Structure 1
Amino acid sequence: MKIKFVVLLLCGVIVMSCDDSGNSTTTDIEATEIPQERKKITVKTIESIEYMDYALSSESENAIAAWDRYHELATQIGYLKKADFSFFNGDLDLLKKFIKEFKTQMPEQFQTNLIISRNAIVETELLKLNENLTIDNISREEKLSNIKALFIAFSNLNYLINKKLEGDFYNQIQPE
């Protein structure tokens, strides 16, 4: 009689514990779906990134008119500001080819140590952003941080190009 009572009690405990696990599974699924929606990076989140954005002067635009890869990068960064990641999370080999052409097509007047080092920073940020956008387990904040770093690097490249041309202009002025 005691054995029947113990078996009956164990069966009751097992049945009650099975019922609880079903409810917690649906709760877990709902809980994991909510953060997935928050992981999306939208135009609004990219627009909220604060940084100093330098534009090229008209003299600088004329000086880089033949630098096709610069114009393509500027266009792609414009798309990135609209949350279009297709260029930045694409094939790594294509991105490396683009970076190589970006460096080799640079006009000779801009091949100074400052601008070359800034190009290296832009290259690093491009590769880092590509890696972080293609890996799924990178946090949204880390991706936004990488996007901001690329914006800053490109903006600083624009600043140095402007500064170089301005310095060249002032060096041409001869005192009377």
Structure 2
Amino acid sequence: MKITSVLLGVCCVIFMSCGEEKNNTVETETKDATEQSARISAKTIENIEYNDYALSPEGENAVVTWEKHQELATQISYLKRGDFSFFNGDKEQLKKFIEEFKSQLPEGLKTNPVVSRNAIVETTLLKLNENLTLDNIERTAQLVSIKEMFVAFSNLNYQINKKLERDMYDKIQPE
């Protein structure tokens, strides 16, 4: 009788320890899947929906001397392909870029709407940098920051187009 109860006890211990190994593998697989889904790919960025305004030909001519606008446009095109190197780099370099971005604004575009859109681009650049460099920021928050960056730059282009269009209509004299 004692041998049967000891054997039954040993079998229970072995059975219970086997169950723990299964749980560990499931947890490991779940963590691996979570880490892979936490990565932001170009395809994920491609699926972000927003209104993308391009510069008109007049707008292109107006910003041709604004080197930092051209550089930011290039970096945003890289961001759309999943390259975060500019946006998650050194914060001091990003601040230097922002200062040059603001100071190089062409005189013809220095209106309140364009200057305010510049400030929004500055804010979203810094926010995106923080969200991409900190480890404890969730993937959804990073995606929202990326979308905000796209929207801010697009709206800056829209304001430049609008300003140039208004200037063109102001030049038209009634007969």
Q: TM-score, normalised by structure 2?
A: 0.89
Matched, 1:128 2:127: yes
Give the structure 2 partner of residue 69 of structure 1: 68
User: Counterpart amino acid of 1:38?
Assistant: S
Shift of 1:145: 1.1
Give the structure 1 partner of residue 160 of structure 2: 161
Shift of 1:78: 0.4
Give the structure 2 partner of residue 117 of structure 1: 116
Tell me the C-alpha RMSD between the 2 structures: 2.2
**Superposed CA offset, 1:145-165 (max 9, x none):** 111111111111000000111
Give the structure 2 partner of residue 87 of structure 1: 86
Shift of 1:132: 0.6
Moved more, 94-103 or 134-143: 134-143
Structure 1 stretches of 5 or more lacking a match? none
Give the structure 2 partner of residue 59 of structure 1: 58
Shift of 1:44: 1.4
Give the structure 1 partner of residue 143 of structure 2: 144
Shift of 1:49: 1.0
Moved more, 132-141 or 52-61: 132-141
Moved more, 144-153 or 6-15: 6-15
State the identity %. 57
Q: TM-score, normalised by structure 1?
A: 0.89
Match runs of 1:12-91 below 5 Å: 17-91=16-90
Shift of 1:83: 0.6
Aligned length: 175
Report the secondary structure of 1:78's partner residue: helix
Shift of 1:11: 7.8
